[in-house]
Structure 1
C-alpha cells in the first residue's frame, strides 16, 4: 500500500478532478486489476478497434475511461481528467503485436482451448498471460496512481487467422456488468452508430451516495454475522492460504450436460411435491460446482460452508437509485451468502443446494435487504462487506458473469476479409478468459459466461493439488 503515497511523477495539469463513487473506492476493489481476453477466429482491423474505443472515451459521460487515478491527501482516490488527449497523454493505453503467420504456429496461441464434449479442465489460463498482458502492464493499483496511465488498456495480438483482444482496468473503475456496458457501446461505435450510445448514468455524481444510509429492516443473516474476535480468528487461519501456491484452471461445461443437470434438478424437486419448481441455470451450475469446490473436505463433516455469491445491484436499485433502462459504468455489487454444511452439500442432490441458492437470492436480494447489507459495508471501519458464518467455516466465492453476455460482444464491423470456416460466428469470441493482478482470492470462481453453443466456462484459483482431484471427479461425470 505504501506505493500509493509516492509522489505522482506527472505534473497535475488536469482541468477536472472528481472523486470516485463511495462504493468504488474501497479496499476490496482497490485490490484487483482485471484483464479479459477475447479470442476471435477472424482477422480484425486493430486500428479500427483502437480508434473506435478512443472515440468512446470522448463521448459525454465516458470520460472516466481516460482519466488518471490519483490519491489525495486524505487517502481517497480521485479521477484527474486531462484537459485534452494527445499521443503523449492518450485516451487509452494501447499496444499491438502482429505475427505474420497463423495462430496454430504460435507456441502459446496454438494451445488456446476450444469447447469440450464433457465437463473438463481445458487449460491453465496463466499459461496465456503473455498473450493478454503487454510488456510493462500494470500489476497493482500503484502502477496507476504513480503514473500517467489511463484507466482503460487495450492490447491486441494479431495473427493471419485470428485476433486476441484484451482489455484491462482497475476494479475501482467498473464491474462485470460495467464491462458489458463498455463492450456494447464500443460495438455500436464500430458499426457507425455513435448516436445510439447512451451516456452512463452518474458520470458526474454518485447515484449510490445514499445507499446504506437508511436501512428499515434487519438483515436476515444478522444473527450469523461474525463478531470481531471470530473474524480475527478466521482471518488469521486463512492467512496461509494467500501465501500458499495457488493453481488456476479453466473448466468448460457443455450445453448438453447443463441441460441434463437442470432436468434432473427440477425432476428432483417435483418428486418432493414442489409443483412450481423454479431454478435457473445459474442456481444449478453454482450448486453443482460447489460440490467440486468442497471435494477436498471430509464428506460427512458438519463444517460450515459459506457460498459468498457476488450479486449485481442494478435491478433492485431500479426502484430509486439507478433508473431502469439506464447504463451504469461503475461498481454496483453486493453479496448473497448461503450457509450450509459440508454434509448437506454432499449428502443431498444438487437440487438441494440449488434451492438454497434460489431461496437466498429471493430473500436477500430485495431492495430492503440490499439496503441493510450495504449499511453494514458503509458502517464498517474497513469499508468491507460483512462476513457471515463461523470462525471455522470454509468459504467459496462465486461470481457469475453470464448476464454480462461477454460472448455476445460483436466485433464483426472490424473483420477484415471473409472466413471460410462456417463454424465461426463472424466477429464473435469463441473463448474468453479473465485473470487478475493484485489479490488472488483462494476458492474464488468467476463464471465467465455462456458461449454461442450454450457451453459454460468458469475458472478459479485453488490450493495446489486440489485441481488434480477435481480433474478425476470431472472424468466420472457423464
Structure 2
C-alpha cells in the first residue's frame, strides 16, 4: 500500500501511543489469530460489519496508520476520512469450491483429541491465515499506508476460516476480545449496544508505576545490568537454533482429574481442614512445565522462571478502569515464579501448582502491579524486569482463557442454513495464534478452553524438544 496522498487530502490527526504500548516487547510481534468455523459464513457480511466498527466514533485506532516520529517513538496517524484508496480495514478473501478436507493445508487443521496430544503444527497453515503480502514486521506498517487491523477470510463449501491480524503495539488478547465482542454486536444489528473503548483519547496508565505504594517483592532477586547481559548471552544459542512449533490439545477430563488429584495431595500434605484452592490453569501450567523442562538434566538445581503474563485491568478498577469498561490496548503485567528444575521434576504437579497460586496471590495485588510497572519505567528501554539469575531457564506463559475466544458466535453470518439453524450458535471449533517478527522460544500461549471444555496451547521450542514431549505424552495414557 502506498503512503502517497493527494494535495487535497486533509492532514491526518496524530496521536502518540500510550506509554506501555510503545515498548520493545510489543514492537517485536505481528499477531495473526485464525478461527475455524464448521459452516459457510457470508464473507461480505463479516467484512462490512467489521468495517462498520472501524468507522465508529471512538474506534479510530483500528483504521489508524502506524508511524515512527523523528524521536523514534511510535504514533498513530488517523485519516480524516476513509475511502477505497485509504480503507479503514485491510481485507482479503479466498474462495475454494471444495470441502476443507480436500484442500492440502485445510485437511491438516487439528481436531480435539481424547487424550493429551500434540495434534498439529500451526506453521503448516500459513496460506490459510496470512494473505499474500500480509505484514510480517513492524516496518510493514510504518512504511506503508496499511490500517492496523486486517481481516482475511478463506471459504470452503463446508468450512470458513476467519483470521484477524494486527501489530501487538495495538492491543493484547483482552483487547482482541474487545474487538470481537463489538464486531459480533454490529453483525447482529445491535450497533446501539457498542460502546467506545476506555482511554482512546488519553492514556489511563500515564501515572501507573510513577509512585508505587510499596517495593516489588522480588526486587532482591532482580537481575542487574551485568546479570541481564549474562542472561542475554546465554540465550543466544537457544535463539539461533531452529525452532519448532506445535499445537497441543488437553482434554477436559484430564484437566479435571489433574486438578482433583493436586488439591487432594495438598490437603493431605498441609493437613488442611478445608481443600486448598487451585484453578484449572494453575494445574495445567504446572503439568505443562514438567514437560517443557524435560530436556534439562532432571537433578539440576538450575533456576526455572515461570514468567506468567497477567491481565492487570481487573486490578486497576474502579479508579483507572470504570466497571464495565473495555480497553483496546496492552494491559499486561507479569508474575514470576522461581523454582528449581529438580523440584519441578521430582515433586508432584501439586507442588508447582501451589507455587503458581501463591505467586498470583502475593504478586497479583494492586500494589504489586504498580510496583512491577514502576520497575518497567526505571528499566532500560521499557523492558520488563527479569528476576532469578543469569543462568536460569525462562518459560513464558500467556493465558487467554479469560478472553473466552471460543464463545465467539458468528451465527448471524451463516449462509448454509435456514432461519432455524441461524438461530443456533456458530462458534469456532479450533483457534490458533501465530506471531511473526521475533520468535520467542519457550513461550506458550494458552489459547483457551473450547466449547467441550478442552484446553489448547501452543509454542515454540528448540528443534527436537517437541519429539521428547510427544514421547512423554504417550506415557500419560
CA distance in 1, matches of 2:438, 2:377: 22
Query: TM-score when scaled to structure 1?
Result: 0.96
The match for 1:296 is 295
Determine if the alignment matches structure 1 residue 166 to structure 2 residue 152. no
The match for 2:96 is 99
CA distance in 2, matches of 1:145, 1:245: 29
The match for 2:4 is 10
Which deviations, in whole Å up to 9, do the C-alpha atoms of 1:279-331 show, x marking residues without a partner? 00111100110001100011111000000000001011114211121000000
Determine if the alignment matches structure 1 residue 431 to structure 2 residue 430. yes
Contact 2:263–2:275 (8 Å) recurs in 1? no
The match for 1:342 is 341
The match for 1:374 is 373
Which deviations, in whole Å up to 9, do the C-alpha atoms of 1:110-147 show, x marking residues without a partner? 11111001000000100001100000001100000000
CA distance in 1, matches of 2:323, 2:346: 42
Contact 1:42–1:426 (8 Å) recurs in 2? no
- The secondary structure found in structure 2 opposite 1:154 is strand
List runs of 5+ in structure 2 lacking aligned partners.
Answer: none
- The secondary structure found in structure 1 opposite 2:344 is helix
Question: Superposition pairs for residues 252-263 of structure 1, below 5 Å?
Answer: 252-263=249-260
Question: Superposition pairs for residues 26-425 of structure 1, below 5 Å?
Answer: 26-272=23-269, 273-274=271-272, 275-418=274-417
CA distance in 2, matches of 1:436, 1:153: 14
- The secondary structure found in structure 2 opposite 1:251 is strand
CA distance in 2, matches of 1:426, 1:198: 23
- The secondary structure found in structure 1 opposite 2:430 is strand
Query: TM-score when scaled to structure 2?
Result: 0.96
Two-structure CA RMSD over aligned residues (Å): 1.5
Runs of 4+ in 1 over 4 A off after TM superposition: none
List runs of 5+ in structure 1 lacking aligned partners.
Answer: 1-7
CA distance in 2, matches of 1:477, 1:214: 49
Which deviations, in whole Å up to 9, do the C-alpha atoms of 1:191-243 show, x marking residues without a partner? 00001111100011101111110112111100000111111011011022222
CA distance in 2, matches of 1:211, 1:440: 29
CA distance in 2, matches of 1:460, 1:381: 27
Which deviations, in whole Å up to 9, do the C-alpha atoms of 1:35-62 show, x marking residues without a partner? 0000000100000000000110111211
Contact 2:223–2:389 (8 Å) recurs in 1? yes
- The secondary structure found in structure 1 opposite 2:174 is helix
The match for 2:462 is 463
- The secondary structure found in structure 1 opposite 2:317 is helix
